[in-house]
Amino acid sequence: MEQKKIIVALDGHSSCGKSTYAKRIAVELGYSYIDSGAMYRAVTLAAMDAGLFGGTGEPLPGRIEELLDRIELQLRFNPELRRTEIFLNGRMVEDLIRSMEVSSHVSYIAAISPVRKKMVEYQRKLGEEKGIVMDGRDIGTVVFPDAELKIFLTASLEVRAERRYKELIEKGMPASLDEVRANLAKRDHIDSTRADSPLKQASDAIVLDNSDMTVEQQMEWFRKIYEKITAG
| Proportion of the chain in helix, strand, coil states, percent, rounded to 5 | 50, 20, 35
Site string for ligand CDP, 47-86 (x = CB under 6 A): ----------------------------------------
Q: Does 138 sit near ligand CDP (CB under 6 A)?
A: yes
Q: Least CB distance from residue 209 to ligand CDP, whole Å?
A: 15
Q: Does 127 sit near ligand CDP (CB under 6 A)?
A: no
Burial label, 167 (beta-carbon count in 10 A; 0-12, 13-18, 19+): middle
Contact 140/123 with Cβ under 8 angstroms?
Answer: no
Q: Does 37 sit near ligand CDP (CB under 6 A)?
A: yes
Tell me which stretch binds ligand CDP (CB under 6 A): 24-32, 54-62, 82-90, 130-138.
Answer: 130-138
**Where does the chain have alpha helices with state H?**
18-29, 36-49, 64-69, 100-110, 113-126, 157-170, 177-193, 215-231
Please give the Cα distance from 175 to 25 (Å, whole number): 29
Instruction: Pick the binder of ligand CDP from 71, 75, 107, 132 (CB under 6 A).
Output: 107
Q: Does 163 sit near ligand CDP (CB under 6 A)?
A: no
Instruction: Pick the binder of ligand CDP from 137, 150, 163, 181 (CB under 6 A).
Output: 137
